[in-house]
Amino acid sequence: MCYQKNQPNRFSILFVFAFIMFAVFTINAQTKKDISQWKQLFNGKDLSGWKHVGGGSRYVEEGLLASKGGMGLLYWDGGKLGNCIIRVVYKMQKINSNAGVFIRVPIEPKEEWMPVYYGYEVQIDNHPETSNEDEYHISGTLYAFTKPLAKPGKPGPDWNTMEIILDGPRTIVYLNGEKVTDYTEGQPTPERKFSYEPYPGIRPNEGYIGLQNHGDEDIVYFKEVAVRPLIKKDKKLNY
């Protein structure tokens, strides 16, 4: 009789314990999910959260960021970004077109050339030879600074996915799943070849980001610009 009387209490305790463990697991899983979620900076409808400086313009066309005229920069005015992963999905209008994704811009842009000279441009251009430039100016490189580890850029109208990892002073760029750039502040870079190239020097760990429009002959469409924090599990990735 005593055994039967105590049996429900034992089951009750086990049930409560299992419920608590399930709740803790669910909360932890949700927290990790929230931390790793991508924040969409472009809403696919309008330019909310973005400002444009310089020539030409960017506008939304059928859910894509299109452009006309140039040269200018559409930058995100939500503040500086650092220790994060930036994901950009783009396509060239022609077989090859020219644009760029700017990162580590030290101050909020008021015109188009300051970011060129003092930030980094993650280049979009599969054939820099067209402009008498070399492989230090090809898609996925830090324009004029880094030599590509691979050349995986897809011609228009195929879509390309670029992931830019900002890890303190280190910048890693993946293009279509292949690593193109792995650069840490202070590493040697080539001498300037052209007056429109960036100046050498250390870039900040955090900075503004932007999308370049380069002219009516070089139109690149963007359908996604997203960011998420760099978290501990990313350190286990092969970068």
| Measured distance CA(129)–CA(126) in Å, rounded | 9
* pLDDT at residue 9 in the model: 56
Pick the closest to residue 118 from 210, 212, 203 (CA basis): 203
In this predicted model, what pLDDT tens digit does every residue of 147-179 receive, in sequence order? 999 999 999 999 999 999 999 999 999 999 999
Query: Mean pLDDT score of the chain, rounded to an integer?
Result: 88
Residue type for position 89? V
Pairing mode, strands 57-61 and 70-76:
unpaired
Pick from 12-21, 41-50, 105-114: least confident: 12-21
In this predicted model, what pLDDT tens digit does every residue of 28-80 receive, in sequence order? 444 344 446 999 999 999 999 999 999 999 999 999 999 999 999 999 999 99
| Measured distance CA(210)–CA(86) in Å, rounded | 11
| Measured distance CA(20)–CA(222) in Å, rounded | 45
**Architecture field, domain 38-234:** Sandwich (2.60)
Residue 25, pLDDT > 70, answer: no
141, 172 in Cβ contact below 8 A? Answer: no
- What global pTM score does this model have? 0.84
